[in-house]
Amino acid sequence: MTTMVFVNFPVTDIKKSTAFYEKIGFKKNPDLSDELVSCMIWDKNFFIMLLSRARYKTFIGEKEIADTKSSSSALISFTFANAQSVKDFGKLADENGGKSIHLDNGIPEEMMYGLEVQDPDGNCLEPVWMNPEMANN
């Protein structure tokens, strides 16, 4: 069986967040969505579940929801075919209410290129391209 990854993000506005993710290339699965949740599909194995803050809270018990606009809680990395595709993804985020940041971590672009992409709530994705020769060493 192939592993499927479901990333759960708390959001303040389901409709606004759904529109953002659609504009950056995700597709909504209406069968797993309602007024409190949008299931956003990247491919057959990678999904982002946008949950209203109230719905998200039902999964975390007594914990507080992190303020992802001021704190980092996780970077969810997923790969692209090349560095330009990563840059294009970041540009789409910038143009549609998100924010992309390229942090110079000392790795040359011909080896790896990644961005931190924040959605309107500050949840982070990390689109990345890695030179296949580097990944297989």
Whether 85 and 129 have beta carbons less than 8 Å apart is answered as yes
- pLDDT (tens, 9 = 90+) of the chain, 137 residues, equals 788 899 999 999 999 999 999 999 999 999 999 999 999 999 999 999 999 999 999 999 999 999 988 988 888 999 999 999 999 999 999 999 999 999 888 888 889 999 999 999 999 999 999 988 876 65
Tell me the domains of the chain and their CATH numbers.
Answer: 1-60 (3.10.180.10), 72-137 (3.10.180.10)
Produce one character per residue of 33-42: b if its CB has 16 or more CB atoms within 10 Å, e if not: beeebbbbbb
SS3 content of the chain, % helix, strand, coil (to 5): 25, 30, 40
Residue 136, H or E segment: none
